[in-house]
Amino acid sequence: MRGATTRVVMFGACLGLAAAPAVTVVAAAAARPAIPDGWSPGELATLQSLTLGTLGAPPRDPSNRYASSAAAAAFGRRAFFDTRFSINGKVACATCHLPSSQFQDGRPLGLGVGTTGRRTMTVIASAYTPWLFWDGRADSPWAQALGPLESAVEHGGTRTLYARVIARAYAEDYAQLFGSLPDTATLPASAGPNGTANERAAWAQLPQTTKDSVTRVFVNLGKALAAFERGIEYGPSRFDRYVAGLTDSDGGKRERFSAAERAGARLFIGSGQCVRCHSGALLTDNQFHNVGIGAAEPPDSGRILGIRLADSSEFNCLSRYSDASEADCAELKFAKRGTADLVGAFRTPSLRDVGLRAPYGHHGEFRTLAAVLDHYNRAPRAAVGHSELEPLHLTQTELAQLDAFLRTLTGSVTAGVASAAPGR
Amino acid sequence: MSRQSRIAAVAPRPARLALATGAAAVLASTIAASRAPRTAPLRPNDCTVQETWKKDFVPPETRDYGRIRLTEGGLYRVSIKAPDDAPPTGKIHEWILHIEDTTGVAVDSATICVDGGMPEHGHGLPTTPEMSGPPANGDYRIEGMKFSMSGWWVVKFVIQARAGTDSVRFNLSLR
């Protein structure tokens, strides 16, 4: 490698990519006053890259032609809170994704009709990630929304049950948005391809055209739910205001950080190495990492299985129910598959509002942020696959500083459709 | 066999990749082998270098960020072109890889596989990029490139053409 490097230098053709930012930084430093709290220009740039102001609007979702429809979002909002979309009439999306609790439930494992196998993820800012669920087995918010509806331990319902609920309670709104409903009067009360043995048998007896039309209703329900969720976003936090104040000429009004919070921020982007995966305005790289969290029994293989499930999903980007062209499905087409680093790897969660979202980990393994930080500091071996972590050797004081910093990431939650409260 | 079908036959398809149990041994031998020209056909794992990131660490002061490099065995001169000169983060995009022989003649008969990652973080690319379509005047489209974050990335290409198989790595400093 060294030899090759020398030869290339002799060609005199190197563009010197690393040198360009350095020149910019030096020029900027000469022209500006010192940055408050002793931040270097490079550190400031990293801090700014984590602020909400850099986020922008959610990327378009070509797989859902209703993603930006206000009418679909209003439909989805009603459905989100409607417990009729469950086998026992008691479970809605909002049962586990509580608007008053960061759109999650605060439990180690979700509790719907039964108990789920993993921690409930928040739906805030879900429009920004190409992969949904801890293992990324859904590649769009609408495909994600359909999963729990057919899960035996979440909503526990079926496609014909949901079509009948829509025909009964949403027929007019549905028709205006999606066109006419199929005849639901003759459908079995509860039948679907992922239900109980009886429900699957009832589904199997339906004509293919009926299966298709009922599944289309089910898909449209998911797309409306996704349109509602698309408007649920994080609001600015103390951290965002603090970083904005670092370049604000009116220093007297800027947000202040305590010494511990400043030290924690420095650790976060420095020796704590948190920013390696918790990067960008949402403090997540939206990728999958094995960080040694998860017990050996029952083993949870994470992304290595998640991408297989996404590939075989009847609702993925390339499916007949997707509105995307093949060219729009690059994330699915080029997703990494079958490599050892995907074993026991899970999606990096956003750290926005993290102080309000205990417990932590994909099984809710950690009750406190301090316990999470202790895990990262020790970097134990993974029970499944191989952890990317190495011990950080931070002191208890430094861990407390990181804890203090993480709590500055708390802000308000905004919902795009009037409010996230239930309504009709 | 036409040039295009030869490319299609050899280029790895992500869906065909099997779980790389025992990857370390395969990868170690892959890296060792890639330092010398070879003639054996490229295999899907030929580009996978995830388990060797720590060995690949290069101190910041000695990293070469040049966009034109000689392959490690000296067989080809390779240059990369990303959109807007600076590859984006968090977004799938494509690169153009240009391959010449050491006399400056464009190489249009190559098969290529791609891998990369962050040596300091121990993780690879979030995607499995692929060579796409037939080359033109030594230019090869590489689709599915994605970098999940800013920082130091290494992208490795294994190139197999008439002169033999050789590899080249590019350093990137993404902001």
Indicate yes or no: CB of B64 within 8 angstroms of CB of A9: yes
Structure tokens at B87: 């590859």
Question: What mean pLDDT do residues B166-173 have?
Answer: 92
Q: Determine, for residues B66 and A339 on separate chains, whether the beta-carbon distance falls below 8 Å.
A: no
> What value of ipTM does the predicted structure carry?
0.77
The residue type found at B6 is R
Residues in B closer than 8 angstroms to A279, CB to CB, are: 148-150
Q: What is the pLDDT of residue B52?
A: 53
CB contact under 8 A, B23 and A339: yes
Q: B117 pLDDT band (50/70/90 cuts)? A: confident
Across the interface, of B20, B120, B143, the residue whose CB is closest to A340 is B20
Other Cβ atoms closer than 10 A to B18: 10
Give pLDDT, residue A341: 87
Contacts of A276 in chain B (CB under 8 A): 118, 120-121, 149, 151
Cβ-in-10-Å burial (0-12, 13-18, 19+) of A34 comes to exposed
The overall average pLDDT reported for chain B is 74
Q: What single string gives the DSSP state of each residue in B120-164? A: TTTEE-SB--EEEEEEETTEEEEEEE---SSEEEEEEEEEEETTE
Question: To probe the interface with B, which of A285, A339, A346, A388 has the most B CB atoms within 10 Å?
Answer: A339
pLDDT at res. B46? 60
**What does the pLDDT read at residue B123?**
77
- Residue with token string 């009037």: A418
pLDDT score recorded for residue B48? 56
Greater model confidence, A23 or B74: B74
What pLDDT shows up at residue B104?
95
Residue, of A80 and B88, whose pLDDT is higher: A80
- The span from the first CA to the last CA of chain B, in angstroms, equals 43
**pLDDT < 50 regions, chain A:** 1-29, 417-420, 422-424
Across the interface, of A8, A334, A341, the residue whose CB is closest to B69 is A8
CA B150 to centroid of chain Cα atoms: 19
Strand partners, A346: A289
Asked if the model's pLDDT at residue B10 lies above 60, the reply is no
Q: Among B20, B63, B129, select the one facing A18 at the smallest CB separation.
A: B63
What percent of chain B shows pLDDT beyond 70?
A: 67
Chain-chain contact of B89 with A15 (C-beta, under 8 angstroms):
no
Q: Provide the strand spans (E) within A43-131.
A: none
Express each pLDDT in B39-49 by its tens digit.
456 654 566 55
Distance CA B159, CA B108 (A): 11
CB A49 within 8 Å of CB A280: yes
Contacts of B46 in chain A (CB under 8 A): none
Indicate the pTM of the whole model. 0.84
Going along A339-406, which residue ranges are E strands?
346-347
B89/A337 Cβ within 8 A: no
Q: What are phi and psi of A411, to 5 degrees?
A: -140, -165
The reported pLDDT for the residue numbered A210 is: 97
- In what helix (H) or strand (E) does residue A57 lie, and over which residues does it extend? none
R_g of chain B, CA atoms, integer Å: 15
Token pair in block for residue A325: 């062209």
Closest to B112 measured CA to CA, from B137, B138, B86? B138
Instruction: Quickly list H helices, A120-258.
Output: 141-150, 159-169, 171-178, 197-204, 208-230, 238-246
Residue A40 confidence (pLDDT): 94
Which of the four pLDDT bands, split at 50, 70 and 90, describes residue B61? confident
Q: In the predicted model, is pLDDT for residue B5 greater than 70? A: no
Contacts of B148 in chain A (CB under 8 A): 279, 285-287
CB contact under 8 A, B89 and A280: yes
Q: Which residues of A touch B34 (CB under 8 A)?
A: none
Higher pLDDT, A151 or B26: A151
d(CA A33, CA A130): 40
A334 closest CB neighbour out of B14, B150, B173: B14
Cβ separation B150–A49 shorter than 8 A: yes
Distance CA A359, CA A363 (A): 9
Closest of B66, B137, B131, B140 to residue B96, by C-alpha: B140
